[in-house]
Amino acid sequence: MESTGGPYLNTAAVTSPVGIARLLQMTFGCTTFSLVAHQGGFSAAYGTFCMFVWTFCFAITVFIIACEFTHLHSCLSLSWGNFTAAFAMLATLMSITAAVIYPLYFVQVGCYPIGCEVRDFRIAASVFAGLLFVTYAAEVFLTRAKPGQVTSYMATVSGLLKIVQAFVACIIFGALVNDSQYGKYVATQWCVAVYSFCFVVTVVVVAFSVTGKTALLWFPFERSVVIYTFGAVLLYTSAAVIWPVFCFDSKYGSPRRPGLCAKGRCPWDSQLVIAIFTYVNLLLYVLDLAYSQRIRFVSHI
């Protein structure tokens, strides 16, 4: 009989620090959405988003643990190190968002009108949601690239920043569709084009890294990403100047929030959110450009 070349099961997948963090993620995620589904309850778009985050992260975490424990990840056409690093960062951002949104909209001090039992379930779900975020952040900390270490691109600071940039862009898009009135001027439409272009290219960069297909491209992927990042800095700089002028200058918009603007349905609020996160993403792209000078891509880990 031929030798199998090693054990069938990879026990390190559940006994290493990263493996333990993933087991805790699975436990806390399952506990959180179970508490909400059983008695805590959720409603509207905010509650649905939180439930999606917890169930999605739980499912992918179980998939990762199963693949690493059984060595099945070696059969997948993925750069496994890039995939797990990218997911850990994405799950960290999604879980902290849900951990803030759920208690903000569903937890109250008193028992009226939902009852004390429902309130207690919601408080417990909020606690476990916070613990879930901590465990995903711990995985990012444990798997991040160390100085002088050869590792997957998505585990580097530049790779992790790509996930954050895409996530921030999604927040911008959410504010844009919430009656932001971006179609009033060609200048603000240009800003939307900037957000869209940078988001698409960033997602393409992540996709090529996760699938490990960067070596198949006919152009130098590493250099192209650095050039793109520099271009994104310039584009976001233009948006960071144009958007506030055409939204908050008295000649084109309103420097102050209109008094008759309804809460939750005010274009000025959406414009302010977009302006803030435009500067956030500009800073992220600047940091990305700085760190991209110090790394080398590894697509097959």
pLDDT by residue (tens digit) across 65-75? 999 999 998 88
Closest to 104 in 3D by CA, of 54, 47, 32: 47
Q: How many domains does the chain have?
A: 2
Q: Do 119 and 223 lie in a common domain?
A: no
Q: Do 171 and 79 lie in a common domain?
A: no
Quote the pLDDT of residue 294: 67
Q: Is residue 90 assigned to a domain?
A: yes
Q: Do 23 and 51 lie in a common domain?
A: yes
Q: Is 127 exposed, middle or buried (0-12, 13-18, 19+ CB in 10 A)?
A: middle
Q: Is residue 40 assigned to a domain?
A: yes
> Which amino acid is residue 42, in one-letter code?
F
Buried/exposed 164-199: b ≥16 CB within 10 Å, e otherwise: bbbbbbebbbebbebebebeebebbebbbebbeebb
Q: Are 230 and 100 contacting, i.e. CB atoms less than 8 angstroms apart? A: no
Residue 197 three-state SS: helix
Q: Do 22 and 138 lie in a common domain?
A: yes
Quote the pLDDT of residue 1: 38
Q: Are 26 and 5 contacting, i.e. CB atoms less than 8 angstroms apart? A: no
Q: Do 209 and 118 lie in a common domain?
A: no
Q: Is residue 148 assigned to a domain?
A: no
Q: Is residue 296 assigned to a domain?
A: yes
If pLDDT is split at 50, 70 and 90, which confidence band does 19 have? very high
What's the whole-number mean pLDDT along residues 157-184? 94
pLDDT by residue (tens digit) across 260-293? 887 777 899 999 999 999 999 999 999 999 988 7
Q: Is residue 243 assigned to a domain?
A: yes
pLDDT by residue (tens digit) across 195-242? 999 999 999 999 999 988 877 777 788 889 999 999 999 999 999 999
Q: Do 105 and 171 lie in a common domain?
A: no
Q: Is residue 150 assigned to a domain?
A: no
Q: Do 123 and 20 lie in a common domain?
A: yes
Residue 46 domain boundaries = 9-143
Q: What is the CATH number of the domain that holds 139?
A: 1.20.140
Q: Is residue 2 assigned to a domain?
A: no
Quote the pLDDT of residue 292: 82
Q: Do 15 and 51 lie in a common domain?
A: yes
Q: Which of 121, 143, 165 is the last residue of a domain?
A: 143
* Nearest-5° Cα angle at 282, 192 to 264: 55
CA distance 97 to 102: 9
Q: Which of 89, 117, 143 is the last residue of a domain?
A: 143
Q: Do 174 and 91 lie in a common domain?
A: no
Q: Is residue 149 assigned to a domain?
A: no
* CA-based end-to-end distance of the chain: 31
Q: What is the pTM of this model?
A: 0.92
